[in-house]
Chains A and B, each alone.
Chain A
Amino acid sequence: MTAPPASTPSPAAVARRSPGRLRAELAVLAAALVSAVVVWEGHFRLRDAARPHPPRGLFQLDAYSGYSIRANLRDEPYPIFGSDRHYHVTTTVDGLRRSTPVDVSDDAQVVFFTGDSFFFGAQVEESDTAAAVLEHRLQADTGPRGAAVLNGGLPGGTTVMSVCRYLGVGRKYRPRVVVCCQCPQQAVPNPPDYAALARGQTDPDFAAKLPYFIDAEGVLRYHVTEVAWLRPACRASALVRHLVREANQTSPERSRETLREAARATVRDPAAAIAPFVELDRWVRRDGGRTIVVLRPDPWGLSADVRPSVYEVTRDALRAEGITVIDLAAVLDGRTDVYAADAHWNATGHRLVADLIYREIRRSAAPSSAEPPANLERLSERPAGAIRK
Chain B
Amino acid sequence: MLFHSTQFLVFYLAVFAVYWLLPWRGPRKLVLLAASYYFYMAWDPWLALLIAGSTLWDYVCGAVIDASEAPRVRRAALVLSIVGNLGLLGVFKYANFFVDSALGLAHALGYEASRPELEIILPVGISFYTFQTMSYTIDIYRHELKPCRNALDFALYVAFFPQLVAGPIVRAATFLPQLDRDHRWDWWRGVDGAWLVALGLFKKVVLADNLAIVADAIFAAPGQYGAAASWLGTIAFAFQIYADFSAYSDIACGVAGWLGYEFPENFHQPYLARGMQEFWRRWHISLSTWLRDYLYIPLGGSRHGTWITYRNLLLTMLLGGLWHGAAWTFVAWGAYHGLLLAAERWWLERVAPRLGARVGASSLAAVFQVALTFVAVCLGWVLFRARTWDDARVMLANLVGLGEGSGGYVLDTTGTAVLALAVGGVALAWLREQHRWDWQRPLWARYAVLTTCLAGIVIWAPRVSAPFVYFQF
Which residues of chain A from 199 to 227 have a CB within 8 Å of any chain B CB? none
Closest beta carbon of chain B to A121's beta carbon, Å: 30
Enumerate chain A residues within 8 angstroms of B172, measured Cβ to Cβ.
1
In the docked arrangement, what's the CA distance between A252 and B262, Å?
38
Enumerate chain B residues within 8 angstroms of A32, measured Cβ to Cβ.
447, 450-451, 454
Which residues of chain A from 157 to 189 have a CB within 8 Å of any chain B CB? none
Which residues of chain A from 1 to 47 have a CB within 8 Å of any chain B CB? 1-8, 17, 22, 24-29, 31-33, 35-36, 39-40, 43
Indicate if A247 sits at the interface (CB-CB under 8 A): yes
Indicate if the CB atoms of B173 and A3 lie closer than 8 Å. yes
Closest beta carbon of chain B to A13's beta carbon, Å: 10
Indicate if the CB atoms of A7 and B451 lie closer than 8 Å. no
Enumerate chain A residues within 8 angstroms of B459, measured Cβ to Cβ.
39-40, 43
- Interface of chain B, helix or strand or loop or mixed? helix
Indicate if B458 sits at the interface (CB-CB under 8 A): yes
In the docked arrangement, what's the CA distance between A252 and B463, Å?
8
Closest beta carbon of chain A to B248's beta carbon, Å: 16
Indicate if the CB atoms of B463 and A6 lie closer than 8 Å. no
Enumerate chain B residues within 8 angstroms of A106, measured Cβ to Cβ.
none
Taken residue by residue from 443 to 458, chain B's Cβ proximity to chain A (1 for < 8 Å, 0 otherwise) reads as 1001100110011001
A25's partner among B171, B177, B191, B264 (CB-CB below 8 A) is: B191
Closest beta carbon of chain B to A22's beta carbon, Å: 6
In the docked arrangement, what's the CA distance between A36 and B460, Å?
13
Indicate if A84 sits at the interface (CB-CB under 8 A): no
Indicate if A141 sits at the interface (CB-CB under 8 A): no
Most buried by B among A7, A27, A43, A253: A7
In the complex, which residue of chain B has the Cβ closest to the Cβ of A43?
Answer: B459
Which 9 residue pairs of A and B lie closest in terms of their CB atoms, listed nearest first?
A6-B264, A36-B454, A32-B450, A3-B173, A39-B455, A5-B262, A32-B451, A35-B451, A36-B455
In the docked arrangement, what's the CA distance between A2 and B187, Å?
26
Indicate if A246 sits at the interface (CB-CB under 8 A): yes
Taken residue by residue from 246 to 259, chain A's Cβ proximity to chain B (1 for < 8 Å, 0 otherwise) reads as 11000111000000
Enumerate chain A residues within 8 angstroms of B451, measured Cβ to Cβ.
31-32, 35-36, 39
A24's partner among B443, B454, B455 (CB-CB below 8 A) is: B443
Closest beta carbon of chain A to B6's beta carbon, Å: 7
Closest beta carbon of chain A to B400's beta carbon, Å: 40
A28's partner among B146, B187, B450, B458 (CB-CB below 8 A) is: B450
Indicate if the CB atoms of A33 and B454 lie closer than 8 Å. yes
B6's partner among A36, A246, A253 (CB-CB below 8 A) is: A246
B177's partner among A1, A22, A31, A253 (CB-CB below 8 A) is: A1
Enumerate chain A residues within 8 angstroms of B454, measured Cβ to Cβ.
32-33, 35-36
Interface residues on chain B, number (Cβ under 8 Å): 30
A2-B173, A3-B174, A31-B447 known, 20 other contacts, Cβ within 8 Å: A1-B145, A1-B173, A5-B177, A6-B264, A7-B253, A7-B262, A7-B263, A7-B264, A22-B187, A25-B446, A26-B191, A28-B443, A28-B446, A28-B450, A29-B191, A36-B451, A39-B459, A40-B458, A43-B459, A247-B6
Closest beta carbon of chain B to A208's beta carbon, Å: 29
Indicate if B464 sits at the interface (CB-CB under 8 A): yes
Taken residue by residue from 188 to 200, chain B's Cβ proximity to chain A (1 for < 8 Å, 0 otherwise) reads as 1001001000000
Enumerate chain A residues within 8 angstroms of B253, measured Cβ to Cβ.
7
In the docked arrangement, what's the CA distance between A33 and B454, Å?
7
Closest beta carbon of chain A to B132's beta carbon, Å: 14
Which residues of chain A from 124 to 157 have a CB within 8 Å of any chain B CB? none
In the docked arrangement, what's the CA distance between A111 and B102, Å?
72
Enumerate chain B residues within 8 angstroms of A39, measured Cβ to Cβ.
451, 455, 459
Interface residues on chain A, number (Cβ under 8 Å): 30
Indicate if B391 sits at the interface (CB-CB under 8 A): no
Taken residue by residue from 162 to 180, chain B's Cβ proximity to chain A (1 for < 8 Å, 0 otherwise) reads as 0000000001111011100
Taken residue by residue from 301 to 319, chain B's Cβ proximity to chain A (1 for < 8 Å, 0 otherwise) reads as 0000000000000000000
* Contact A29:B6 (CB < 8 A) given known A1-B146, A251-B463, A253-B464: no
Closest beta carbon of chain A to B411's beta carbon, Å: 21
Most buried by B among A27, A40, A247, A253: A40
B455's partner among A22, A31, A35, A247 (CB-CB below 8 A) is: A35
In the complex, which residue of chain B has the Cβ closest to the Cβ of A246?
Answer: B6
Indicate if the CB atoms of B264 and A5 lie closer than 8 Å. yes
Enumerate chain A residues within 8 angstroms of B455, measured Cβ to Cβ.
35-36, 39-40, 43
Enumerate chain B residues within 8 angstroms of A1, measured Cβ to Cβ.
145-146, 172-173, 176-177
Enumerate chain A residues within 8 angstroms of B265, measured Cβ to Cβ.
6-7
Closest beta carbon of chain B to A246's beta carbon, Å: 7
Enumerate chain B residues within 8 angstroms of A43, measured Cβ to Cβ.
455, 458-459
Q: Can you name 17 A-B pairs with beta carbons within 8 Å?
A: A1-B145, A1-B173, A2-B173, A2-B177, A3-B171, A3-B174, A5-B177, A5-B264, A8-B262, A26-B187, A28-B450, A32-B450, A32-B451, A36-B458, A39-B455, A43-B455, A251-B463
Closest beta carbon of chain B to A14's beta carbon, Å: 10
In the docked arrangement, what's the CA distance between A179 and B450, Å?
58
Enumerate chain B residues within 8 angstroms of A31, measured Cβ to Cβ.
447, 451
Enumerate chain B residues within 8 angstroms of A252, measured Cβ to Cβ.
463-464
Taken residue by residue from 30 to 70, chain A's Cβ proximity to chain B (1 for < 8 Å, 0 otherwise) reads as 01110110011001000000000000000000000000000
In the docked arrangement, what's the CA distance between A384 and B263, Å?
66
In the complex, which residue of chain A has the Cβ closest to the Cβ of B446?
Answer: A28
Closest beta carbon of chain B to A295's beta carbon, Å: 30
In the docked arrangement, what's the CA distance between A3 and B136, Å?
13
In the complex, which residue of chain B has the Cβ closest to the Cβ of A34?
Answer: B451
Enumerate chain A residues within 8 angstroms of B6, measured Cβ to Cβ.
246-247
In the complex, which residue of chain B has the Cβ closest to the Cβ of A33?
Answer: B454
Enumerate chain B residues within 8 angstroms of A27, measured Cβ to Cβ.
443
Closest beta carbon of chain B to A333's beta carbon, Å: 28
In the docked arrangement, what's the CA distance between A6 and B172, Å?
12
Closest beta carbon of chain A to B113's beta carbon, Å: 36
Most buried by B among A2, A3, A40, A247: A3
